[in-house]
Amino acid sequence: MANSKWSHTALLVIDMQNDFILDDGLMRVDGGKAIVPNVIKTVEMARQRGILVIWVVREHDPQGRDVELFRRHLYLPGKVGPTSKGSPGAELVDGLVIKEGDYKLVKTRFSAFFATHLHSFLQTAGIHSLVIAGVQTPNCIRQTVFDAVALDYQPVTVIVDATAAATPDIHLGMCSLVIWIHCCVMQIFMF
């Protein structure tokens, strides 16, 4: 049963896709595979509490026409680029499943808010606070968190052991940074 305490909260699960998580992923984040069990647990806990689960994924045009300039070289003719729409690399990693009532948001940049309808969707749903899980802390997690703070979501919580970066030092450094902008950082057992 949904708990009214959580009715204005959404969980953003960011970029938990094969190309970011699997050992042979085209944009593999070294710490990504280790957090999969905690991301699964975070999603389960959110659903039990009636928290809206939003799957934020990258899906790019197979020709790379919507990719940042610095990544366009990865989308050459005859080559499948990272998280190309319809490719196995764009699929959620095993164990993570979009269920009825969840929402999928496609992005093409670091922030889940940039050039998407996420803010409008959250406002319409009455969401005021966000919980963040996924990869990668210095890029998509950080940028989404900073934009959420700029848009006055309160609180914004990063689940430190359900997020990851290329190294533990980078990850912890980025988690320290979001504390400076008055976000919450907690381990899954505190959630």
Q: Please report the sign of the dihedral spanned by the C-alpha atoms of residue 153, residue 6, residue 173, residue 18.
A: negative
Beta carbons of 83 and 19 less than 8 angstroms apart = yes
Per-residue pLDDT of 89-137, as tens digits, reads 999 999 999 999 999 999 999 999 999 999 999 999 999 999 999 999 9
Please give the positions annotated as active site.
15, 107, 140
Per-residue pLDDT of 11-36, as tens digits, reads 999 999 999 999 999 999 999 999 99
CB atoms within 10 A of CB 145: 29
Bridge partners (DSSP) listed for residue 185: 158
Q: What is the mean pLDDT of residues 29-44?
A: 97
What is the average pLDDT score of the chain?
A: 96
Q: Structure tokens of 145?
A: 């968190």
**pLDDT value, residue 4:** 81
**pLDDT value, residue 2:** 58
The pTM of the full predicted model, rounded to 2 decimals, is 0.96
